[in-house]
Structure 1
Amino acid sequence: MATWDLEKTRAHIMICNGASCLRKHGEEVTIAIRKVLKEQALDDYIHTTRTRCNGRCKDASTVIVYPEGTWYQNILPEDAEKLVNAINRGEQLKEKVSHTFRGSGFDRYNDAPIGILKSEKAQKSPS
C-alpha cells in the first residue's frame, strides 16, 4: 500500500460508489475522472477517493469536492473532463451542483431533492 504525499493537493474529489451510484455509472465516473487527472498531470494536485454511500441516492451518481464543499449530482463519465477542468480552475461545474457548503450549512441548487433529516429517519425506524 502507498501513502500519498498530500502537500501539493489543492482539491479532494470523493466519488460515491454506493449501490445507487454504481447503478448510475459510479464506477465508470471514478475511472473517467482518474483518467482525466492522469492525462492532465493533475494527480499530485487533485486527490480522489472512492467512497461508499454518501446518502444522496436520488442525486446518483454523486461526487463531492473539498475544500470548498461542493456536492455534484447526476455525474456521468462524459462529465469527467469538464468537472476536472472546473475544479482545476477553482470553479464549479454549475449545472451539476446540488449543494455547496456556506459555513453554517448547505445551499441547494438545480432542483436537487431535499431529502429527509437523519433524525426523522431514526424516529421512523423500529428500535
Structure 2
Amino acid sequence: MTTWNLNGMKHHLFFCNGGSCTKKGAEEVVEAMRDEIKLQEADVRIHTTRTRCQGRCEDACVITVYPEGVWYKEVTPEIGRRIVREHLVGGSPVEEHISYTYEDELAARPDTKEGQSKTKRKEAQTK
C-alpha cells in the first residue's frame, strides 16, 4: 500500500512487528486492520506503517495511533478491527486496550506505574 499523496491523512498507524508482537500474531493484526480500513473506505485518511520493536513487549501486540499518540496493547485481529471502526472512523478510542496516551499532559493510564486515570485527574482538578 504505497501512499504518495499524504494530503487528507488524519491518522498514521504504526504496527509493531518486533519479536514479541510477531509471536502473538502481529501479521494477522496488520492484515485485519488494513482489511477493515479498506472495508470502511478509509484508506485515503489512514496511513499504515510496520515497525520493528516499539519497546512495549509486555503489551504485545502493540499499535500506535498518531497524531493523537495513543498506544494500544494486547491487540488481536478483532480488537484491531474495533480500533479502526470505533477510534479511527468513529472518533471514540477503545479505552480498555489503551496503555498510554499523550492526552492530558502526557499522563500514563492507570494500569502503569507512572500515571493515573483521566477520570481521577479530572476529579482532582475540580476539588
Deviation of 1:91 (Å): 2.0
Distance 1:5 1:17, change over 3 A: same
Percent identity of equivalent pairs: 42
Matches within 5 A, 1:1-127: 2-86=2-86, 87-102=88-103, 104-109=105-110, 111-112=111-112
Task: Tell me, in whole angstroms, the C-alpha distance in 2 between the residues paired with 1:82 and 1:94.
Answer: 11
Q: Secondary structure at the match of 2:36?
A: helix
Q: Secondary structure at the match of 2:82?
A: helix
Aligned-residue Cα RMSD (Å) equals: 1.9
With structure 2 as the length reference, what TM-score do the two structures score? 0.81
Is contact 2:40-2:85 (8 Å) kept?
A: no
Q: Secondary structure at the match of 2:7?
A: coil
Q: Secondary structure at the match of 2:33?
A: helix
Q: Please list every run of 5 or more consecutive structure 2 residues that lacks an aligned counterpart in the other structure.
A: 115-127
With structure 1 as the length reference, what TM-score do the two structures score? 0.81
- 1:71-126 CA distance string (max 9 Å, x none): 000000111221101221222111100000036434224x2577xxxxxxxxxxxx
